[in-house]
Copies of this chain bind each other. A is one copy, B any other.
Amino acid sequence: MNDTFLKACRGENTDYTPVWIMRQAGRYLKQYQKIRKKVDFLTLCKTPELAAEVTIQPIDALGVDAAILFSDILIPVEAMGMDLKFLEKKGPVLNPPIRDRDSLKRLSVPNPERDLNFVMETIKILRRELDGRVPLIGFSGAPFTMATYMIEGGSSKNFLHTKRMIFQSPDLYKALMDKITKTVIEYLKSQISAGAQAVQLFDTWAGIFSPSDYKEYVLLYVTHVIDELKSWQASKKIAVPVIYFVGECGGLLEHMKSAGADVYGIDWRINLDDAIKRLGTRTVVQGNLDPVALFLPQEKIELRVKDILKRAKSAKGHIFNLGHGVLPETPPENVIALVEMVHAHSRKR
């Protein structure tokens, strides 16, 4: 059984640096495309056998040290009562967006065992099929990042509606965030109960704020999620690591570190040693290769891998990853090579 990833999460010594890749189950893999030709994205997320199959594809193809549940951060948003569609070029569309009390009222906190049963089913299949090969990571969007999609009605460039709600109707925002936060807590508890061995909170859009706004409108709710998960786990005598990933975290590290996570995921726009200095050297970090660096010739990728491994040495622990999801256009052979390089060069230490 390969538990290198879990050991690294806990800050324990490992024989080499474990590696997994955000969006490792995805369009850059031919195996994945083959399945997607048969079913649309949402159906894939909701069909446990298929979701489990694509989750395992990168374990076979890449040799990564962890599997991550194939799903989408908007799956629980649909279960809250919003209409969710994925349009081919536009991405997710949530209709109508949440911008007033009335639309908020229509949202409920789902019961994950009932309303998101297909996720729990996928996790159970995965634990059985992985059979200890690598640990399984569950995940959820962090409350703020989920809120942006709900308020904007999809992706956004400048998050005007979101910030406008925060600044002009702080009570409405708080009420929305309370509902989302409860949803995230219940969703992650259920995933852990179903068998997730670590969970990651994706706060992809948290980097759009000034540090003090981040603290007040984003971090508060993430901290609450992690606190709740930790005390619930303590009562159950379990200890599933929580990873907190923030996109564009460069300005926010001093605040981020108080979230209470076991591992902090770092994007590529900052040197990992600088990030560790600002987070504190008692921290376990995950990251942080620029996803587009996977388009470099392999000898150049190798230089970057070595550089990141070197910069990571000042941390209590390191899990290698990209600084954001792998891009669909990425040559798969470079991803395979990346995993090999991380293993080879970290063993030599």
A290 at the interface (CB under 8 A from B): yes
By the criterion CB–CB under 8 Å, are B269 and A327 in contact?
no
By the criterion CB–CB under 8 Å, are A268 and B168 in contact?
no
Name which of A168, A208, A210, A211 has the most chain B CB atoms within 10 A of its CB.
Answer: A210
By the criterion CB–CB under 8 Å, are A271 and B211 in contact?
yes
A214, chain B: closest CB distance, angstroms = 9
Q: Specify which chain B residues have a CB less than 8 angstroms from the CB of A274 in the assembled complex.
A: 211, 251
A209-B290, A210-B290, A329-B160 known; A270+B296 contact, CB < 8 A: no
A99 at the interface (CB under 8 A from B): no
A72, chain B: closest CB distance, angstroms = 18
Contact with B along A212-251 (1 / 0, CB 8 A): 1100000000000000000000000000000000001011
A164 at the interface (CB under 8 A from B): yes
Q: Specify which chain B residues have a CB less than 8 angstroms from the CB of A28 in the assembled complex.
A: none
A248-B250, A296-B167 known; A268+B210 contact, CB < 8 A: yes
Chain A: interface residue total (CB-CB under 8 A): 34
A313 at the interface (CB under 8 A from B): no
Instruction: Give the residue name and chain of the B residue nearest to A288 (CB).
Output: B210
Contact with B along A108-148 (1 / 0, CB 8 A): 00000000000000000000000000000000000000000
A23 at the interface (CB under 8 A from B): no
Complex alpha-carbon distance, A159 and B295, angstroms: 13
A39 at the interface (CB under 8 A from B): no
By the criterion CB–CB under 8 Å, are B250 and A168 in contact?
no
Complex alpha-carbon distance, A25 and B251, angstroms: 29
Knowing that A210-B269, A248-B248 touch, tell me 14 more A-B residue pairs with CB under 8 angstroms: A160-B329, A164-B292, A167-B295, A167-B300, A209-B269, A210-B268, A210-B271, A211-B269, A212-B271, A212-B307, A248-B269, A250-B250, A250-B269, A251-B274
Q: 6 A-B Cβ contacts within 8 A? A: A160-B292, A160-B327, A210-B268, A211-B271, A212-B271, A251-B270
